[in-house]
Structure 1
Amino acid sequence: MGALVGLASNRASAQERSELRTRISFSAPSTCPDEQRFRALLAQHSEAIVDDDAPITLRIEVTKDEKGHRGRVALLTVEEEGTREVAAKRCEDVVRGLALFSAIALDAYLERLAAEAHAPPAPPPAPPSLPVVEQEQASRAVTSDAPRKRIARPPASRSVVVDGAVGFALGARNAAGSGLVYGAGVSGELGIMHRFRSSLRAGLNLGARVPETHREGTLSFGMAWLQIDACPGWVAFGRTFSAAVCPSAEIGVQRAALDDIAMGRTELRPWLSLGGVGRMRAALGNTVELEASVGLVAPVLRYDFLTIGGEVFATPNLVPTATFGAVLPIF
């Protein structure tokens, strides 16, 4: 590996390296290091500048199979060159290998450009001998330079990787007076990787307060709600941690009941809230991720439960939430 690093580092001068610009097309499963991590690894071996308007494209593709992970790198100029493949059980090792081979491919391309620039121009071919009549006609013909062909720049790669996952979580919130509402939920999430990862999650949740004695009766409270989180961008911290701040919306129903004989009452009301949630994930291997989240939502429809004897509890102006669970990828 050290010999390869030396080969990638000594092929071109520092001045030529600083002038090399390339685009990067990166696609990998969500459990792998992201494009920012790949750029950092590439910068350890190459001084090439990443530029979306560069005339060449460095295409990186990582896939997962039953044996682990497999990656492929190709440099797209006027044709595909510098193709290499890397296979390993850990995706981190694959991405590291692709970064090294990318630096070697970039240096080889730079060396070829330098050789072409310093090569002496080839002598023009001798014109074929023509009969005397044709020579006179050719001398009278008006010649013009043919337009030079432009080398078509390869189109920018806009590959998009889509992944899906299911989640299970337990949580608590202060949504009914001073008592905590404990709940559980299941969710489905769709992720999109295109330069950075974004996701959309929808989850169905059920929650309830622990029944408590109120005067001569028992007070109970429960709620069911659909929660939607839109995460515009996930930020990776190292190989296993990631986090996102996501706008959130909830819609559902709440039910409160007091079975007191004199002042008993049952009420069913709609629930609607808007807010945000901070989500943090830690990967366990290549399949399972643990997730913790904290949030704050503001009820749009306030819920104050009243009986003949007066107010039993009121919905707070801001509802803090907290959950902990697991996420399992399905594709």
Structure 2
Amino acid sequence: MTVQKPRLHVLLAGPRGFCAGVDRAIKIVEEALKRHGAPVYVRHEIVHNRFVVEGLERQGAIFVEELSEVPDDGQPVIFSAHGVPKSVPAEAAQREMYFLDATCPLVSKVHREAERHHARGRHLLLIGHAGHPEVVGTMGQLSDGAVTLVEDAEAARALQPPAGVELAYTTQTTLSVDDTAEIVAILRDRFPAIEGPAKEDICYATTNRQAAVKSVAARSDLVIVVGAPNSSNSVRLREVAERSGAPRAVMVQRGAELDPAIADGCATIGITAGASAPELLVQEVLARLRDRFEVSVEEVTVATEDIVFRIPRMRAVA
């Protein structure tokens, strides 16, 4: 006798998964491997996703945390999508390394803003998370003491910037839109003359993915975010889902990690993926759910993304 599976309706949030900056960074590594052969060295995970990193490792990429781990063998060195302090390309140039910069162009825009404010004599307040490689990279564009990190609303209220200096703020690109708006409002209230970016620094992909998860969270008994625990934008998606009406939100890196019993008793669940998680991993999660449920899928799309970032020109192979 065939046992009928319980029904489960899945709301697939869109956009989800890879953004243009992540796609560009991965293509830079793949093209470097194609042109120059293995090994190609990558400083830090090219994007925060183990599935992606392990796939590139199988092709011959070697991931390191510091340039001191890279031998002087003439092979390319690639900087991750998160950006690096100025000291890193300076060290690479001093060692006459051939390096490629895979920094997301939207992160590079924040770097240029930081330099512009500094050149005009302003002290920079950077809204972001301590220790995140993007924050380390942005703070590393300027001299020590030129940037103050503001991590949350409490820090914004307690902040005591240098006296007699004009202020400006910029932000990490992968923050919660709502949290950042609260912090900016506090800073503007305390320092009315503070300068901000002409356009918000939180990137379009982060904004779109958070809007998409909000659109499914209130209709869902559970939201599953496909992403890595060290991926800032993925962690924010889980937080946004919980704040937007989902009784529960969890994160998994891929289908094999998911116990489909987590959806027992649910009528409708939402699924999304962080900007560094490939669609293949979303389909793995759906496959795991189909092992236990009769799944129907509804796409809930709040925006269409057509942005493409070109990869940099690479040195010809001799």
Higher alpha-carbon Rg: 1
Provide the TM-score with structure 2 as the length reference: 0.28
Instruction: Using CA pairs under 8 Å that are at least 6 residues apart, name the structure with larger relative contact order, 1 or 2.
Output: 2
